[in-house]
Amino acid sequence: MPETRESALRGDCAQCFGLCCVALPFAKSADFAVDKSAGDPCRNLQDDFRCGIHTRLRPSGFQGCTVYDCFGAGQRVSQVTFGGVSWREAPETARRMYEVFPVMRQLHELLRYLTEALERPAARRIHGELRSALARVEELTALPAADLEKLDVAPVRAEVNPLLLRTSELVRATAGGKPRGRRGADLVGKRLRGAKLRGTDLRGALLIAADLTGADLTLTDLIGADLRDADLSGAVLTDALFLTQPQLNSARGDARTVLPEGFARPAHWTS
């Protein structure tokens, strides 16, 4: 089956050289059981680049791994940028591969948001601009490793961000009523049980451990919102905007939580 844009923007560990398990650092904490420096393979990484404890990451103290997604950057760097030759086969490429991976990950995240924006009928009037931006970012992902390594993604984000903001405005306007903004709000631990947040801008909001039980998050912009340990039990996230699977994986929920189409119910949620 040919790869679609959507599938290319989902991590495929079988096609990756374990880059998130090697290139990225982490510190011993509630999310990781040990310290690891950038460039050092995780102790759980196997010879076939698979995780030896993938099915038991949370009970093993590696919760942080369960809420990470490279948006397909890992397989792109592994199979395209470096032509399918791993850092084990060609150790001289390792440093550059590790530098390129986080750059590609940022580009793929932008592609993921732009792709979603283009799927929103309410944003039709700016679809032409969105398609142009998507094409420009895709061109950057095809750069040689030496160029990707030096690429500054900040100006690219600055170009894309206004289009995502406009998309959010157009989509949330379909929710009815006066658009509400809580962008970047500090809602850590807040009791928002049953809150009517339909069409609200929660871009970058801190919702860590917030009680969102039964809340209506229909058409809510959740780009960059921190949902770690937020309780989404019984919440309605129909058509939530710019939501990602890692955000759901970091939260709590149950069988009553209404998810947008295409999202998986995290295994640790209650039944």
Neighbours of 231 (CB within 10 A): 22
Instruction: Look up residue 164 and give its two tokens.
Output: 């995502």
Q: Return the pLDDT at 176.
A: 86
Which of 11, 16, 10 has its CA nearest to residue 88? 16
| CA 53 distance to own-chain centroid | 22
The gap from C-alpha 119 to its chain's centroid, in whole angstroms, comes to 17
- Give whole-number Cα distances, 11 to 20, 70, 174, 229, in Å: 10, 6, 32, 23
With 0-12 CB in 10 A as exposed, 13-18 as middle and 19+ as buried, what is 155? exposed
Q: Look up the pTM and report it.
A: 0.93
CB 141 within 8 A of CB 107: yes
CB atoms closer than 10 angstroms to residue 9: 21
Nearest Cα residue to 236 out of 185, 200, 186, 203: 200
Give the pLDDT score at 5: 60
At 6 the pLDDT is 67
111, burial (CB in 10 Å: exposed 0-12, middle 13-18, buried 19+): buried
Predicted local confidence at residue 2, as pLDDT: 45
**pLDDT in the model for residue 216:** 97
Start-to-end CA span in the chain (Å): 33
Cβ atoms < 10 Å from Cβ of 264: 9
User: Which parts of the chain register pLDDT below 50?
Assistant: 1-2
